[in-house]
Amino acid sequence: MDAVDLRTKSRDQLMQELRDLRKEALNLRFQRAGGQLASTARVRTVRRDIARIQTVLNEMARKAS
């Protein structure tokens, strides 16, 4: 997921994607704790995608004010 792609989306779309990624991060944490995590790289990818979305949302908020 690129920041360029995220900037073309609306605020509502970004918020929905952020919710989905946070749910996935929670599930991955439970899988890691239970020893069932198949792809440890996915945890890092999800965390970075969450950070990208939050950055774009903060940029949008700064432009609005």
Say yes or no to pLDDT of 12 above 90: yes
Residue 45, classified by CB atoms within 10 Å of its CB into exposed (0-12), middle (13-18) or buried (19+), is middle
In this structure, what CATH number is given to the domain that contains residue 59? 1.10.287.310
Interval 15-32 mean pLDDT: 98
How high is the pLDDT of residue 27? 97
pLDDT digits (tens, 9 = 90+) for 28-46: 999 999 999 999 999 999 9
Q: What span, in angstroms and rounded, lies between the C-alpha atoms of 34 and 62?
A: 41
User: Could you tell me which of 44, 49, 57, 60 has the C-alpha nearest to residue 21?
Assistant: 49
How many structural domains comprise the chain? Answer: 1
Q: Output the pTM of the full model.
A: 0.92
Residue 52 near residue 16, CB atoms below 8 Å: no
